[in-house]
Amino acid sequence: MIVGNTAEFRAALPNGGRLMGLDVGTRTIGLALCDSGWTIATAAELIRRTKFAADLDKLRGIVAAQSVKGIVIGLPLNMDGSDSPRTQSTRAFARNLAPLGLPVLLWDERWSTQAVTRTLIDADASRARRADLVDKMAAAYILQGAIDGLVGFGT
């Protein structure tokens, strides 16, 4: 089940549960996790993409090990909100996660990489260090935005 708003996603998770955030790129997948109470997202790891079957197996293992109940995927829209080729690729990736049997929320990620990059530059992280961190930190940024929206919904 793929949804585009927090109300539907929240309805699919009546008992809450741990969420996984993904920043899907062509070469890597940044991964973040949050606690079951949806309070804070934490950058977890960077997956180097290979074939989709191998990527799915890696994600399946993380879902099982971390008791993940739902997935938030950053949706790379154009600045005007329209779809791009990357948006279409991300939607296809989300559809291909169906074997995991988890609800998937597509979350607008237009500013995530820029915000994280600025934070790392302000922290005086080297270019090499930024390259290692930006995708998984972007996943945490995306996931935090989604859980803030989920918690704010209905309160």
- What pLDDT sits at residue 115? 60
Q: How far apart are CA 68 and CA 78, in angstroms?
A: 29
pTM of the model: 0.84
Q: What is the mean pLDDT of residues 19-47?
A: 93
CATH number of the CATH domain containing 58: 3.30.420.140
Domain count, the chain: 1
Tens-digit pLDDT profile for residues 120-155: 566 666 666 656 666 787 899 899 989 998 887 443
Average pLDDT, the chain: 85
Percent composition of the chain: helix, strand, coil (DSSP 3-state, to 5):
50, 25, 30
Mean pLDDT for 70-77 is 92
- Predicted confidence at residue 6, as pLDDT, reads 87
- Kindly report, residue by residue over 48-66, the tens digit of the pLDDT: 999 999 999 999 999 999 9
Mean pLDDT of the region 6-31: 91
Q: Where residue 114 falls among pLDDT bands split at 50, 70, 90? A: low
Q: What DSSP string runs through 80-148?
A: TS---HHHHHHHHHHHHTGGG---EEEEE-TTHHHHHHHHHHHTT--HHHHHHHHHHHHHHHHHHHHHH
Could you give the percent of the chain with pLDDT greater than 70? 82
Structural domain for 38, as ranges: 2-152
Q: In the predicted model, what is the mean pLDDT of residues 26-30?
A: 91
